[in-house]
Chain A
Amino acid sequence: MTLQRHDIDNDAATPGSVFRAPIGRRRFLTIGGATVASAAVLAACGDDGESEAGVARVGIAPSTTALPDAVINDVVLLRTVSSIEHSIVAVYDEVIADAALLDPFLRDQMTRFRDDHIAHAELFEGLTAEAGGEPWPCSNARFDEVVVTPVMRAITGAEATDTLAAREPSDDPRRDVLNFTWGLESLAAATYQAFVPMLSLPALRVESITAGAHEARHAALLAMTITGIPEGYIDPSDVTNAGEPAPTTTSAPATTQDIAAPSSDAPDPVEEGTVGTEIPTVYAIPSQFGQLGAIPIVVGAPDENGTRLTVRLETPSLNTLVYEYLTPEC
């Protein structure tokens, strides 16, 4: 069939042939070339802006200001840890001053923790300046908004606002404060650990992990205070993995997590048989390696279903970093 078509095409070139084709090869090329040229001219004359704007509409478009470029560098990371430290200091300031929130027996320890955080904040502010950035002497607004404020409202109770519902005070504020500060210390340790490979200079990595180790020891001490000893030493699964018998459970200390036990004054709103939110048991050594996953904390009074506020603390991400274009206002 192909051979036959070639024969016909050759014949078509012959004047007077009865097999004349409607469009010859050369004529086809001529038309094709003209089409390409036309398309090119039209494309050159067209305006990209008009074609991308879509159909014209009546109205005045508001002017918008784009955010500056968000570059994550050493200065941003150093400012971020400073901000987290200031947020934690603010929490300690609030609970240390209120005997309803903190057992006076723990006041010295918590004051020491707060002072350590102030020292860390000052350290990283100095390192920020050395790195050529503007130190960040304020708390972290995003962290305060999504973590600190809701948790403290759940602990102390609060009236409704435009955006937040009213909260009843916790059935055990002291227990919740210890859990929250444990979570904050664990988060601080995880943050410093997470920033080690992100910092460009080895000297800054040393500063970061040194502070992280310090926060981890705060968390360990709080875990033993909360869970008691020896139960709070280490996660039992790590003990059984080591081929040892699981730790014995002695009489529970006053601060042991036990949501089944009614608190001293407040009536227990959980009806018998209702399963409430379990408050995680915390350990001084929760795992073999430092973890970077979310840290769950459970606080506040249970609702009619026994559900308490659960907040998962996560190391700072893109929406929590203190970028260089941000100006401290505190």
Chain B
Amino acid sequence: MPDHEAAGSAPSTDSVMRRRLLGAGVAGLAVSLFPRFASRVSATTTPEESTPATTTTAPPRQPTGADADLLAFAQSMELAIVELYDLALGVLDESDERSVFAAVREAHEAYAQSIASAIGTGASPTPLSELISEQEGNFSGGSLEELARVAYDIEATALATHTDVIGQLEGTNPAALLASIVVTEARHCTVFATIAGETDLDVLLLSDATALQPTEG
């Protein structure tokens, strides 16, 4: 209460002294801090040596809207491949090679699931019907070597398609996921080529399959 009364009346000597001291304190503080700020500025900029900074934009980590469409296509291809392997498993006798077909089928199912999780809630799993109708005859019968050869072809196609999609993706996370799939599908190719009896290094190590492309609409 006494302070309020004092504020309403003429300033006393004490109050003037207090304001001067407070003002001097703030000014002193500002002066004391100035060298620190000045040194920081001088440490971060060296006008003589500096060059114009390159403008860079880091790619997004999460899939963009366009990425989601590409991933949905990749997922539908994987689901179709699962169905094709189901056909092959229906005609293969029990053997070590059949176990490879079964394990690879499981891998493609895992790929479809992981791609779906990368897309998010909008993922609608539908197998790529065109691929199934084109390949179901090849996977529905034949010898082990013949089935291994068509499995090689479908793996090479999946590899080429995912590689193509990686080249179009903006998000780095889905690109990393597809990269981990491509590396393994490449191994699938070599194993199926071996089961098919191939010894040509060009077949075992390379494939020239064409990437599948999503149809308009």
User: Taking the complex as formed, is A220 at the interface, i.e. its CB lies under 8 A from any CB of chain B?
Assistant: yes
Are B182 and A37 in contact (CB-based, < 8 A)?
A: no
Q: Is A242 interfacial (CB 8 A cutoff)?
A: yes
- Contact bitstring A42-83, B, C-beta under 8 A = 1, else 0: 111000100000000000000000000000000000000000
Q: B99's contact among A30, A40, A244, A290, by CB below 8 Å, is which? A: A244
Residues of chain A with a CB closer than 8 A to B59's CB: 200
Q: Which residues of B contact A33 (CB under 8 A)?
A: 18, 20-22, 24-25
Closest B residue to A286 by beta carbon equals B187
Which of A152-160, A203-211, A260-268 lies at the interface? A203-211
- Within 8 Å CB of B20, what residues of A? 33
Q: A89 interface residue, CB < 8 Å from B?
A: no
> Does A10 contact B2, Cβ atoms closer than 8 Å?
yes
Contact A44 B96 (CB under 8 A): no
Pick the contact of A221 from B36, B159, B204 — CB < 8 Å? Answer: B204
Q: How far is the CB of A163 from chain B (nearest CB, A)?
A: 36
Q: A216-B184, A220-B191, A288-B107 are in contact. Are A36 and B15 (CB under 8 A)?
A: no
Query: Is A101 an interface position by the 8 A CB rule?
Result: no
A interface, how many residues as a size bin?
A: 35 or more
Contact digits for A15-47, partner B, Cβ 8 Å, 1 yes 0 no: 000000000001101101110110111111000
B97–chain A nearest beta-carbon distance, Å = 7
**Does any Cβ of A come within 8 Å of B163's Cβ?**
yes
Q: For residue B175, which residues in chain A have a CB less than 8 angstroms away from its CB?
A: 196-197, 202, 205
- Taking CB atoms, residues of chain A closer than 8 Å to B17 are 30
- Give bound CA distance, A292 to B176, whole Å: 11
Asked if residues A44 and B31 are in contact (CB atoms below 8 Å), the reply is yes
The answer to whether B103 touches A241, judged by C-beta atoms less than 8 angstroms apart, is yes
Q: How far is the CB of B19 from chain A (nearest CB, A)?
A: 9
Chain B: CB-nearest residue to A28: B18
Q: Tell me how many residues of B have a C-beta within 8 Å of chain A.
A: 71
Q: A33-B22, A202-B168 are contacts. A239–B187 as well, Cβ < 8 Å? A: no
Q: Which residues of A contact B169 (CB under 8 A)?
A: 202
Q: Is B217 an interface residue (CB 8 A)?
A: no
Residue interface bits B7-47, CB-to-A below 8 A is 1, else 0: 00000001101101110110111111111100100000000
- Complex Cα distance, B100 from A40, in Å, reads 78
CB-CB nearest in chain B for A219: B187
Cα A220 to Cα B159 in complex, Å, equals 15
Residues of A contacting B166 with CB < 8 Å? 196, 202, 205-206, 209
Chain A residue nearest to B114 in the complex (CB) = A289
Whether B172 lies near A197 (C-beta < 8 A) is yes
Per the 8 Å Cβ criterion, residues 144-181 of B in contact with A are 159, 163-164, 166-170, 172-173, 175-176, 178-181
- Is A212 close to B, CB under 8 A? yes
**Residues from chain A with Cβ under 8 Å of B103 in the complex:** 234, 238-239, 241-242, 244, 285
From the candidates A26, A217, A220, A244, name the one contacting B14 in the complex (CB within 8 A): A26
Cβ contact of B179, chosen from A32, A116, A193, cutoff 8 A: A193
Per-residue interface assignment for chain B, residues 99 to 111, with 1 indicating a CB less than 8 Å from any chain A CB and 0 otherwise: 1101111110011
Among A42, A229, A287, the residue within 8 A (CB) of B194 is A229
Q: In chain A between 226 and 274, which residues have their CB closer than 8 angstroms to a CB of chain B?
A: 229-230, 233-234, 238-239, 241-248
**B208: interface (CB < 8 Å):** no
Asked, given contacts A216-B186, A285-B188, whether A43 binds B32 with beta carbons under 8 Å apart, the answer is yes
- Inter-chain contacts of A102 with B (CB < 8 A): none
CB distance from B68 to the nearest CB of A (A): 16
Given contacts A203-B167, A210-B163, contact A247 B96 (CB under 8 A): yes
B102 pairs with A239, CB closer than 8 A: yes
With a cutoff of 8 Å between Cβ atoms, the chain A residues found around residue B163 in the complex are 206, 209-210, 213
Contacts of B104 in A (CB 8 A): 234, 285
Is A187 interfacial (CB-CB < 8 Å)? no
8 A Cβ contacts from B59-80 to A: 59
Are A285 and B179 interface neighbours, CB within 8 A?
Answer: no
A298 interface residue (CB < 8 Å to B): no
Which residues does B use to contact A, with CB under 8 Å? 2, 14-15, 17-18, 20-22, 24-25, 27-36, 39, 56, 58-59, 94, 96-100, 102-107, 110-111, 114, 159, 163-164, 166-170, 172-173, 175-176, 178-191, 194-195, 201, 204-206
Interface positions of A (Cβ within 8 A of B): 10, 13, 26-27, 29-30, 32-34, 36-37, 39-44, 48, 109, 112, 116, 189-190, 192-193, 196-198, 200, 202-203, 205-206, 208-210, 212-214, 216-221, 224, 229-230, 233-234, 238-239, 241-248, 284-285, 287-292
Task: Provide a sorted-by-A list of 17 A–B residue pairs whose CB atoms are within 8 angstroms.
Answer: A10-B2, A36-B28, A112-B205, A193-B182, A200-B56, A200-B58, A205-B166, A205-B167, A209-B163, A221-B190, A230-B96, A238-B103, A243-B102, A244-B99, A285-B187, A290-B179, A290-B184
Other A-B pairs beyond A200-B56, A216-B184, 17, CB < 8 Å: A26-B14, A39-B32, A40-B30, A192-B183, A197-B175, A202-B170, A205-B167, A205-B179, A213-B183, A238-B103, A239-B100, A242-B106, A245-B94, A247-B99, A284-B190, A288-B107, A289-B184
